[in-house]
Amino acid sequence: KAGVTQTPRYLIKTRGQQVTLSCSPISGHRSVSWYQQTPGQGLQFLFEYFSETQRNKGNFPGRFSGRQFSNSRSEMNVSTLELGDSALYLCASKTTDEQFFGPGTRLTVL
C-alpha cells in the first residue's frame, strides 16, 4: 500500500508570494492533517480535514488555509509569505488510531 505522498518536496519562495502544497493520503484514509515543523517551535498542528470539511484548526493566522477534495487529497495554501514561514510542512493521514506522516515539503522563504 502506498504511503502518504506530498508534492513538491522542496520549494523556494520570496516574501509576499503565495504557495500551494499538495498531499495525497493513504488509500482509504479520509482524515488529513497538516503540521508545521521548525527547529524553534517543533511540530505544530495547522488543521485537519475529514470528508472535505475542516474539523479542527490550530493557532495559525488566516494566511494559512487548506481544503480537501472528494478523493481525500488535500491542499494547503499560504498567502503573503513571511520569512518565519520557512519550515517543513508535513501532511498526515489517519485511520481510527494511527496517523501516518508523509515525507514533507521543505519551504524556504527568502
Are residues 93 and 29 in contact, defined by beta-carbon separation less than 8 angstroms?
Answer: yes
User: What whole-number distance in Å separates Cα of residue 110 and Cα of residue 103?
Assistant: 22
58 sits near other proteins (criterion: CB under 8 A): yes
Nine-digit cell string for 107: 519551504
Between 5 and 17, name the residue whose CB sits nearer to other proteins.
Answer: 5
The correct pick among 5, 30, 45, 75 for binding other proteins (CB under 8 A) is 45
Q: How many residues bind other proteins (CB under 8 A)?
A: 21
Task: Report, in Å, the least distance between residue 42 CB and other proteins.
Answer: 4
User: Among 79, 99, 101, which residue's Cα sits nearest to residue 90?
Assistant: 101
Encoded one letter per residue, x for contact with other proteins by CB under 8 A and - for no contact, window 13-32 reads ------------------x-
The correct pick among 33, 68, 72, 74 for binding other proteins (CB under 8 A) is 33
Question: For residues 56, 60, 64 and 67, what is the CA-based torsion angle, rounded to 10 degrees?
Answer: 0
State the CB neighbour count (10 A cutoff) for residue 6.
21
- Which residues contribute to the site for other proteins (CB under 8 A)? 31, 33, 35, 42-45, 48, 55-56, 58, 90, 94, 97-104
